[in-house]
Homo-oligomer: A and B are copies of this chain.
Amino acid sequence: MAAVTELGTALRALVDASVSTAVGPEELRAAAAEARRATALLEADRRPPGRLPPLDDPVAFRRVYSPVTGVGSAVAPPLTLRGDPAGGVRAEATLGLLYEGPPGYLHGGMSGLLMDHLLGAAAIHAGLWGMTAHLELDYRGPVPLGVPLVLRGWVERNAGRRTDVAGSIAAADAPDRVLVQATGIFVTPRAEKMDAYFATVTDAAGRHTPPGRPTDATAVQP
């Protein structure tokens, strides 16, 4: 895990530098050459499609390359999800230019990405894994980049395979002034759908390991 985290950290710094740099074409090309050398090292061996990375535990929802929480992912902030004493889950993050939409503000769709993840994590945290069936977002104000944010997700109700969840994004220094409000419906697929969707998924040892009801909650830090 340490090496995956080290590479993820290095890549996030590189990607962040790449969108905020003011160096000239020569330095950009030199950086591209370094990046290609790194790629060649990594491409020496690739996992086959459908085989999860050794560090993943899909039953416990630990995914090291998640585009939102993955410590190994260059695109993930990454968010660290924690149980919220007020209920559900919460995360804090300060987002940079990588996620920019209108100048100075978070891309509206990035709010959608983050909220979908928080809502899904809130369901998992309550032992109610499902896939997104419906997501709805109200944008009450632009989300500023470069300032600490608080993201929350919580379960509103559950009935059988359907879980209704909600969430919000606010600036950490004004947590009650909601900038983005989200609601979602997450549905646990029927057994036959699960079989169809995830028939070929294996862990690194080759064992069939579809996602499912969490046995513990390692995706959420204590």
Contacts and interface: CB of A to CB of B under 8 A. Distances in A.
Interface in A150-178: none
11 contacts: A6-B29, A7-B28, A18-B72, A22-B47, A34-B34, A104-B197, A109-B117, A110-B113, A131-B139, A134-B139, A136-B136
Interface residues of A, number: 92
B31 A34 contact: no
A214 interface: no
Q: Could you say how many copies of this chain the assembly holds?
A: 2
Interface in A1-15: 2-4, 6-11, 13-15
Contact of A17 (B3, B13, B17, B39): B39
A67 B14 contact: no
A115 interface: yes
